[in-house]
Structure 1
């Protein structure tokens, strides 16, 4: 089941952080870059990020999270994370489908991921996104942005 998360509640922010840290540690290993900003988040930074969070729950356990911001006709995905214990269960797809179904009045979804994060790049391409640009952030990190018309 997918439901909105009140990220301003410290209990829920901690639950999200307990998904985010292990998920981004996997990405850090995949792209060989361990200074990812989401690994430095705290309950407090999540509470003040101004993103809208939705969680995928399996038997009352939070297993995956998507967070978005909306502006004009654009939905920007800021986080699409699944706990490593729940990889390959279709949770990311269900969260993405939820956003597409519930934000039909918007025209575009955009998202970025580490360019070397092959599973994420493959996921977005497989789900109808097209690559827009690659940006070198540091000597060791580049991000690829994707766009999908909905």
Structure 2
């Protein structure tokens, strides 16, 4: 069961190199203390535009969060942090709560090459990460 208070962030566009990554989508989901709803904000950058465009904040009733929390508790992250996009989706998820601090991709994105992480997920773990991304996208989509 997911904790009663948490913050979650999904970012697409995490791979970089010499220059920092350019995100194409960012969504933030928070559940305030003693609330039965989620607060969702998101922004996207259409191809060819330099800046993220924000969408109006939304509120959504709780739903798939327990599944997402359970998935992230079981998934590894790259080591060292930000060394490689080990899930291969050019996407990061950050989850922060009292019982779980989980993040892949590092705050500045990923700058390493394939094979630069000492931790590599199994095909099953890659599928679980893909499911985690789908859950966040579904939550954001429901709130639009």
Query: Common fold, TM-score beyond 0.5?
Result: no
Higher relative contact order (CA 8 A, sep 6+): 2
Larger strand fraction of residues:
1
Larger helix fraction of residues:
1
What TM-score do the two structures reach when normalised by structure 1? 0.27
What TM-score do the two structures reach when normalised by structure 2? 0.28
